[in-house]
Amino acid sequence: MTLTDERTEEVAVNPRLERAARRRESWRGFLHAVPAYVYLIVFFVLPLIVVFVFSFASRSRTGRPELENWNVDGWTRLTDELVRTIVTRSLFVAALNTVLCLIIGYQFAYWIATRRKQSTRTILLILVLIPFWSNFLVRTYAWRMLLDSDGYITQLGELTGLWGRTLFTLPAVFLGLLYGYLPFMVLPLYAAIERIDWSLVEAGRDLYASGTKAFMKITLPLSRPGIVAGSILVFIPSLGAYVTPDILGGAKTTLLGNFIVTQFGAARNWPFGSALSSAILMVMLLATILYFRSGARTV
* Positions 30 through 69 that interact with another protein (CB under 8 A): 30-37, 39-41, 43-48, 50-51, 54, 64-65
State the nearest-atom distance from the C-beta of 25 to another protein, in Å.
Answer: 7
**Residue 147 and residue 153 in contact, taking contact as beta carbons nearer than 8 Å:** yes
**What DSSP line would sit under 168-230, residue for residue?**
TSHHHHHHHHHHHHHHHHHHHHHHHHHHS-HHHHHHHHHHH--HHHHIIIIIHHHTHHHHHHH
Contacting another protein (CB under 8 A), which of 22, 84, 195, 224?
A: 22
- Which residue lies nearer to another protein by CB, 139 or 217? 139
Q: Rule CB under 8 A: is residue 14 a binding residue for another protein?
A: yes
- Which residue lies nearer to another protein by CB, 24 or 224? 24
Q: Rule CB under 8 A: is residue 227 a binding residue for another protein?
A: no
- Spatial CA neighbour of 233 closest among 40, 113, 98, 111: 98
Give, rounded to a whole angstrom, the gap between the first and last alpha carbons of the chain: 35
Q: How far apart are CA 25 and CA 41, in angstroms?
A: 23
Contacting another protein (CB under 8 A), which of 2, 3, 68, 126?
A: 126
Please count the other Cβ atoms lying within 10 Å of the Cβ belonging to residue 143. Answer: 22
State the nearest-atom distance from the C-beta of 109 to another protein, in Å.
Answer: 10
Contacting another protein (CB under 8 A), which of 18, 80, 158, 206?
A: 18
State the nearest-atom distance from the C-beta of 76 to another protein, in Å.
Answer: 19
Alpha carbon 296 to its chain's center: 14
Contacting another protein (CB under 8 A), which of 173, 181, 183, 228?
A: 183
- Spatial CA neighbour of 78 closest among 208, 260, 223: 260
Phi, psi of 2 (to 5 degrees): -85, 165
- Which residue lies nearer to another protein by CB, 131 or 222? 131
Q: Rule CB under 8 A: is residue 251 a binding residue for another protein?
A: no
Please count the other Cβ atoms lying within 10 Å of the Cβ belonging to residue 158. Answer: 13
The angle formed by the CA atoms of residues 94, 258 and 92, to the nearest 5 degrees, is 20
**Residue 59 and residue 269 in contact, taking contact as beta carbons nearer than 8 Å:** yes
Contacting another protein (CB under 8 A), which of 93, 128, 185, 189?
A: 128
Q: Which amino acid is at 56?
A: F
> What radius of gyration, in Å, describes the C-alpha atoms of the chain?
26
Contacting another protein (CB under 8 A), which of 100, 170, 241, 296?
A: 241
Binding piece for another protein, criterion CB under 8 A, among 79-87, 195-203, 218-226, 268-276: 268-276
- Which residue lies nearer to another protein by CB, 82 or 103? 103
Where in 73-92 is the site for another protein (CB under 8 A)?
Answer: none
Q: Binding-site residue total for another protein (CB under 8 A)?
A: 105
State the nearest-atom distance from the C-beta of 80 to another protein, in Å.
Answer: 19
Where in 139-178 is the site for another protein (CB under 8 A)?
Answer: 139, 141-146, 148, 150-152
Q: Rule CB under 8 A: is residue 181 a binding residue for another protein?
A: no
Beta bridge partners of 58: 66
Contacting another protein (CB under 8 A), which of 104, 196, 201, 222?
A: 104
